[in-house]
Structure 1
Amino acid sequence: MTHVVTCFLRHERDVLLGRRSDAVGTYVGRWAGVSGYVEGDPRDAERDARREVREETGRADATLVRAGDPVELRDGDRTWTVHPFLFEVDSREVTPNEEIATHEWVLPPAIRERETVPGLWAAYEAVAPTVETVATDTVHGSAWLSLRALDVLRDRAAVADEYGVVAAVARDLRTARPSMAAVANRVNRVMSAAERTPASIRAATERVADAARQADGEAATRAADLCGESVVTLSRSGTVRAALERAQPAVLIGESRPAREGADVAAELAHAGLDVTLTTDAALPSELATRDPDTVLVGADAVLADGSVVNKVGTRGLALAAAREGVPVYVVAAAAKVRPDETVHGETGDAADIYDGAAPVSVANPVFDRTPADLVTGVVTERGVLDGDAVRSVAAEHRANAAWDAE
């Protein structure tokens, strides 16, 4: 049995496919991911995967997202064990070697519409986003996760024969992250706009995803104009990061325990040329007081219908400190993050992150907190800075979209 790796490079929502050249020994002319033989212990196939990515695309900076379970397949008298991997890259720049005749970035369902190496779709499914990966991700923000949820819906629609199968996935997705309004709202928007067929749902996911990317980008552009020369933030928000990279202010950022995603953002911003200071979550309010920043800029997992904001725990304390020092607090978020109601869905972290001793200590480890509307200067969206009436109007839109399941 021959062991091989198949690697999918993902940029935004597309994956890289290459047409195999006559320099390879098998499946010449067929489309494939980045692939090659496992030269060592199959249990360490990731090493071979990284080597193949470097050799075939010239990318040494790809970030591993997921390693899937091996896929066994038979093609005539050949038997293959395929070790699938999914990597993320921050651009579409690749330098193919002689094994790739041509390459394209495509939406994953295109795999099913091309002449590919055997089992390519099965390999992709082994590393593709799922309801579970959306539900358990502790690193990414809600805008990013909402696009992954649309990927899950699109992929299921691409293979389903019945509307009910896809609708069941939509129901699971909209409850996968109850604290993140954009996930449910964008799924509901797809289902509300689509006809009751898998093909229509697949097409609707593309329209909604395109609109979502534009909305996130426009919100970031508007927020950049409000940053000033010095900004305080915390946690990971792709929209906040985009705004900061546009505005280029000095940045003070909290580390955001327990995953410390703030540390990752600090490194990314520093690599982008910004003057960045990383501090602990506990020190963030006092550091704000000593630095006299122009703005506090944070993301949101949800904006409630009353104008209050649900975001990574620590946001409320930061907003209180900002109010004490007279610093405006802007929340940047696409309008999709407005919740149709005022329900707060809390998520709780692992108690052992705080205390794992033997004493009978009760642990409160919330992941999110709620910042009252009177502490928020404005909610910056692709539609502009929303006031209370505008937030309620957007909430009504989302309630109407959610009615698809009541029909």
Structure 2
Amino acid sequence: MPTDVVTAFVRHGTDVLLLRRSESVGSYPGRWGGVAGHAEGDPEAQARTELREETGFGDADVELVRRGAPFEVDDPDHGTWVVHPFLFDCRRRDAATNWEAAAHEWVPPTEIRRRDTVPDLWRSYDAVRPTVDSVAGDDEHGSAYLSLRALDVLRDEAAVAADEGGDWERVAAVACDLAAAKPGMAVVRNRVNRAMAAADRTPSGVEAAAREVAGEAADADDRAAASAADDLRSRGVAAVFTLSRSGTVDAALRELAPGRVVVAESRPGGEGVGVAEALAGDCDVTLTGDANVPAAVAAADAVLVGADAVFPDGDVVNKVGTRAAALAARDAGVPTVVACAADKVAPERLPVEDGDADALYEGDAPLDVENPVFEAVPGRLVDAVVTEAGVLDAEAVGALAAERREWAAWE
């Protein structure tokens, strides 16, 4: 009779946690695997139990990203396993393993293809790893996060192509699809183009370049957040208004530790609700409706937002509602600060994403409906664009835009 088991991959940044099974376990000692165990009852609940037992990561540390379809693995020594794969994002990297693991390492997932692993470990990862479609369809995460997922896809597809004798054209097609996956998110396109421009024209070269760019990108995002926190601290900011979801803003707020944060609900999508919930344990948080933004901004010391793109002329693209917040900030005499990595500077003006009209109005009256998701905020309303290199002036923005046009020339 088949035995149900869970295999959970824990991801931090662009690395996953691999465990080398100890000599005390009943199957596959010495081999590398994910967090695993017999599935008794609900597989997701069991995956979370195994995470707590084998890594010390609890529900507050991890977020379920994807659950893959179960599949069978036939082993002449152990019978048939029914594997239930899971992928979790983890906020920490300090795994505390138990007796089941002799060692553990954070590695790019492509290392799975090069190690002595439990059976079909890559198949488990393949069932939950990011794809072009998952990047294009993700409306929950910020653009910095999605740029890392795009580099994950490029790295993984390049590794598979290298192992299967694929050529440059095969990987280049994936890169083009990724660059087009989020047309308004400059950082997704820029980081894919940067990896392709740096690589030699081989799949293995692209894999290596994607890994290097991803590592530098994650570091840049962290330093941009620290730089934004320093900027706000220098302004004596104690109460911050924000909207939408930005990993850089979230990290900046956690480092700044202001006395109060006000978060707009951020329609359409309402991702501000989740942002407020995530911050609630760390500071005094107020969730407010979008219609209350002017009053909320007037009671704050600064507006802090992320960006999906910074255009060469200094205009900033972010979630709809940002322009209203910036106008309210100018009226109230408080600064509007944009926190983002320099890779969000776009080579040219990009399209600004529209929303689904039916989500706003499904009636049959003869009227036009506008339900934008993002908008371009004039640069004159922005007091500072803060990146890992500090505050960008107009000359720096222009120079970065030119560099990104050079990256795009690989095509």
Q: Give me the TM-score of the superposition, normalised by structure 1.
A: 0.93
Q: Secondary structure at the match of 2:291?
A: coil
1:195 aligns with 2:205: no
Q: Is the 8 A contact 2:317 2:352 kept in 1?
A: no
Q: Secondary structure at the match of 2:93?
A: coil
1:262 aligns with 2:291: no
Give the gaps of 5 or more residues in structure 1: none
Q: 2:406 aligned to 393, 400, 405, which one?
A: 400
1:232 aligns with 2:241: yes
Shift in Å at residue 169 of structure 1?
Answer: 0.7
Which residue in 1 is equivalent to 2:47? 49
Q: Is the 8 A contact 1:19 1:31 kept in 2?
A: yes
Query: What does 1:93-108 align with in structure 2 at a 5 Å threshold?
Result: 93-108=94-109
1:280 aligns with 2:280: no
Shift in Å at residue 318 of structure 1?
Answer: 0.7
For 1:226, the aligned partner's letter is D
1:165 aligns with 2:170: yes
More deviation, 277-286/396-405: 277-286
Q: 1 CA distance for matches of 2:38 and 2:239?
A: 51
Q: Is the 8 A contact 1:335 1:383 kept in 2?
A: yes
Which residue in 2 is equivalent to 1:183? 188
Q: 2 CA distance for matches of 1:142 and 1:17?
A: 27
Shift in Å at residue 3 of structure 1?
Answer: 2.2
Q: Secondary structure at the match of 1:344?
A: coil
1:373 aligns with 2:379: yes
Q: 1 CA distance for matches of 2:37 and 2:252?
A: 40
Q: Is the 8 A contact 1:351 1:364 kept in 2?
A: no
For 2:242, the aligned partner's letter is T
Give the gaps of 5 or more residues in structure 2: none
Q: Among all aligned residue pairs of Structure 1 and Structure 2, give the percentage whose two residues are the same amino acid.
A: 57
Q: Secondary structure at the match of 2:397?
A: helix
Shift in Å at residue 135 of structure 1?
Answer: 0.7
Offset from partner CA, 1:315-358 (integer Å, 9 cap, x none)? 01111111122222121111111111123331424733x34456
Which residue in 1 is equivalent to 2:225? 220
For 2:34, the aligned partner's letter is G
More deviation, 220-229/367-376: 220-229
Q: Secondary structure at the match of 2:241?
A: strand
More deviation, 120-129/374-383: 374-383
Query: What does 1:237-256 align with in structure 2 at a 5 Å threshold?
Result: 237-249=246-258, 250-256=260-266
Which residue in 1 is equivalent to 2:317? 310
Offset from partner CA, 1:107-163 (integer Å, 9 cap, x none)? 111111111110000100110111111111111111111011111111111111322
1:331 aligns with 2:341: no
Q: Is the 8 A contact 2:13 2:218 kept in 1?
A: no
Which residue in 2 is equivalent to 1:64? 64
Q: 2 CA distance for matches of 1:103 and 1:302?
A: 38
Q: Secondary structure at the match of 1:389?
A: helix
Q: 2 CA distance for matches of 1:111 and 1:5?
A: 17
Q: Is the 8 A contact 1:311 1:369 kept in 2?
A: yes
Q: 1 CA distance for matches of 2:367 and 2:118?
A: 56
Shift in Å at residue 362 of structure 1?
Answer: 4.7
1:13 aligns with 2:14: yes
Q: 2 CA distance for matches of 1:13 and 1:343?
A: 27
Which residue in 1 is equivalent to 2:391? 385
Which residue in 2 is equivalent to 1:364? 370
Q: 1 CA distance for matches of 2:96 and 2:144?
A: 30
- Supply the RMSD in Å over aligned alpha carbons: 1.8
Q: Is the 8 A contact 2:357 2:370 kept in 1?
A: no
Offset from partner CA, 1:245-270 (integer Å, 9 cap, x none)? 22222222212124332222223323
Alpha carbons of 1:3 and 1:350: their partners in 2 closer, same or farther (altered >3 Å)? farther
Offset from partner CA, 1:259-300 (integer Å, 9 cap, x none)? 33222222332322x2222211221112222x1x32211110
Q: 2 CA distance for matches of 1:23 and 1:357?
A: 65
Shift in Å at residue 307 of structure 1?
Answer: 0.8
Offset from partner CA, 1:156-180 (integer Å, 9 cap, x none)? 1111132211111110000000111
Shift in Å at residue 397 of structure 1?
Answer: 0.6
Q: 1 CA distance for matches of 2:354 and 2:364?
A: 24
Which residue in 2 is equivalent to 1:351? 358
Q: 1 CA distance for matches of 2:27 and 2:215?
A: 37
Task: Report how many residues are paired.
Answer: 398
Q: 2 CA distance for matches of 1:122 and 1:269?
A: 36
